[in-house]
Amino acid sequence: MTVLVHPVLSAADLLGLFGHFLVLSLLAIGGAITTAPDMHRYVVAEHHWISGSQFSASIAIAQAAPGPNVLFVAVIGWNVAGPIGALATMAGTMLPSTALTLIATRWGQRRRDTRFVRAFKTGLTPLTIGLLVATGWLLARPYVDFSARGIGAVALIGVSIAFMLRTRVSPMWLVGLGAVVGALGWA
């Protein structure tokens, strides 16, 4: 039987983890996944609490599970410091965004026809797209190389982008295509 051992983080490290995810929560325009590159920088590159492959696996496992997309934050926290790490990352992510969303939604609803609110909503679109592209690149980078699998991964990314830009086909078909390509060992 294999026992998973989580690193023991000091109270200061746990507070830092909570604080970092708290700040990221306020930057998560388009969902928590858009801040994955900075989460990676913090827990993998800066503190070396988990590896890059553990980080990618955390996101993959959480995205495959039923439930809200934000679950990957809990899995990252769990991999960093067990249950207390999951609590630190989830509380840091959920507290400010929930409070801000509640306040902003009520305020914006009362002023939805004003020029400022319409401009704000319009301006968030390119920001969200840019953050999602950065996240996609971070998650794809380990698979993009000059091997046959790397070329297959780049081709799959290209096909997915072209399909999404030119058709109204459900993205679930692309997820299925990716599963088939992966199962065949092409990417």
Domain count, the chain: 1
Among candidate residues 76, 73, 25, the one with its CA nearest the CA of residue 55: 76
Within 10 A of 6 (CB to CB), how many other CB atoms are there? 17
**103 inside domain:** yes
**168 inside domain:** no
Q: Return all residues near 80 (Cβ < 8 A) that are at least 6 apart.
A: 6, 7, 9, 17, 43, 49, 50, 89
* pLDDT per residue as tens, the chain (187 positions): 444 556 678 999 999 999 999 999 988 877 888 899 999 999 999 999 999 989 999 998 888 888 888 999 999 999 999 999 999 999 999 999 889 889 988 988 888 889 988 898 888 888 887 887 787 788 777 777 777 777 777 787 788 888 888 888 887 888 888 788 778 877 6
**59 inside domain:** yes
**86 inside domain:** yes
**29 inside domain:** yes
Among candidate residues 41, 42, 58, 69, the one with its CA nearest the CA of residue 4: 58
Cite the beta strand spans of 28-84 per DSSP E.
none
Say how far apart CA 76 and CA 17 lie, in whole Å: 11
Helix (H) or strand (E) holding 177: helix 171-183
pLDDT value of position 1: 44
Structural domain range at position 58: 11-122
**67 inside domain:** yes
pLDDT value of position 48: 95
pLDDT value of position 5: 54
**54 inside domain:** yes
**47 inside domain:** yes
